[in-house]
């Protein structure tokens, strides 16, 4: 059982969904973290091991109703909740010295008018935004170290931003014609009952969704502008594929001038040389989602097809790990000055 009271004391709010159980799975292997409490109003009193048999013998915990005073005894609280929950509780927690990591979207977009437009509710946390860091470690590590609240990125933004940012930062591509084509497994839709996610509805089929606009588009565009200082024109189309977990993003950009495949490959290798969870594969490789299943790794390959003016980046992650819970734990490690890799050295599952 995980009963050691040493290390970072962790609370999880909203632990019954896929990201909640993935947090528990990841933290079970973390040598410097102890899950102190996990909450769910609907499952109060239910044993974690009864809901998730894969955690039998690992956790001696029951789901409890969220209690702000109890959560204040933690060092960090993860919110694996619907949008709007974290912003309603974060102020009291950070005033008590507790770090907050939100796996929902409450703090991902700095322009709150844009956030309200896309999420259809009033944002009540404007005063909190100066204390927020966007939790993409490869580009915001220094801000994360100093933050009180971490906005864990969406899964699509993680795979796409990691894939495109080296070229954008280097100024090698046109910023007015970026196309990102994303494909995700059905776990990205969450655990709630949904007719469209039934096996008979989605098996042996493949479809686009959110073609007229998806809330991850403004999140990505804002970060591209933040990092490059220039406006961008991003077209993003997500797709649902008939698998449980995994995400592949293919990104298309146009070169400003003739830049060789070798130069672009070297640019990416140098950009991510010191990053423990980004793997730039050799030229000509084809990243597959199974190469990252169950791991916190993002693997990518870069192409210049037929030596033309286009560059194609293909990027794969596990949407529940690097796209959610794993990246959240990576951010926790940074916040508390721990080795970033702690709890995250799982090797991908094959086959």
Phi, psi of 318 (to 5 degrees): -85, 120
CA distances from 25 to 75, 291, 325, 335, 346 (A): 19, 19, 9, 20, 11
Question: Given 155, 162, 173, 271, which residue is catalytic?
Answer: 155
CA distance 52 to 145: 33
Distance, in Å, from the CA atom of 63 to the CA atom of 46, rounded to the nearest integer, reads: 6
Distance, CA of 16 to CA of 42 (rounded, Å): 9
Place of tokens 């322009």: 111
Q: Which two tokens stand for residue 339?
A: 């080795």
Whether 155 is a known active-site residue: answer: yes
Question: DSSP letters along 270-304, please?
Answer: HHTTT-TTEEEPPTT----GGGTTTSS-EEEEEE-
Interatomic CA distance for residues 189 and 209, integer angstroms = 12
Q: Around Cβ 231, how many Cβ atoms within 10 Å?
A: 10
- β-strands 298-303, 310-317 pairing: antiparallel
Q: Helix or strand or coil: residue 135?
A: coil
Residues with catalytic roles: 155
């Amino acid at each position: 059982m995980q009963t050691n009271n040493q290390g970072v004391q962790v609370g999880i709010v909203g632990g019954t969904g896929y990201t909640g159980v993935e947090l528990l799975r990841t933290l079970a292997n973390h040598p410097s973290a102890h899950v102190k409490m996990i909450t769910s109003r609907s499952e109060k009193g239910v044993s974690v091991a009864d809901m998730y048999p894969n955690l039998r013998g690992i956790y001696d915990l029951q789901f409890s109703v969220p209690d702000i005073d109890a959560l204040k005894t933690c060092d960090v609280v993860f919110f694996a909740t619907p949008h709007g929950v974290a912003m309603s509780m974060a102020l009291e927690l950070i005033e008590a010295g507790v770090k907050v990591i939100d796996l929902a979207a409450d703090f991902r977009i700095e322009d709150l008018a844009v956030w309200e437009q896309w999420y259809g509710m009033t944002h009540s946390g404007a005063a909190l935004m100066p204390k927020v860091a966007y939790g993409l470690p490869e580009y915001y590590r220094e801000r994360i170290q100093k933050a009180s609240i971490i906005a864990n990125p969406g899964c699509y933004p993680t795979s796409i931003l990691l894939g495109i940012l080296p070229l954008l930062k280097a100024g090698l591509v046109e910023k007015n014609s970026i196309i990102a084509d994303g494909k995700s497994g059905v776990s990205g839709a969450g655990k709630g009952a949904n007719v469209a996610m039934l096996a008979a509805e989605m098996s042996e089929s493949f479809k686009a969704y959110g073609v007229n606009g998806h809330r991850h588009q403004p999140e990505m565009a804002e970060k591209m502008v933040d990092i490059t200082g220039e406006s961008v024109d991003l077209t993003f189309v997500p797709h649902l594929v008939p698998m449980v977990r995994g995400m592949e993003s293919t990104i298309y950009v146009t070169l400003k001038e003739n830049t060789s495949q070798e130069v672009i490959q070297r640019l990416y290798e140098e950009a991510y040389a010191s990053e423990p969870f980004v793997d730039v594969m050799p030229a000509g490789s084809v990243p597959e989602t199974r190469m990252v299943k169950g791991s916190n790794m993002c693997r990518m390959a870069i192409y210049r097809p037929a030596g033309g003016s286009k560059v194609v980046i293909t990027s794969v992650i596990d949407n529940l790990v690097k796209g959610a819970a794993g990246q959240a734990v990576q951010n926790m490690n940074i916040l508390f000055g721990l080795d970033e890799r702690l709890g995250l050295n799982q090797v991908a599952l094959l086959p």
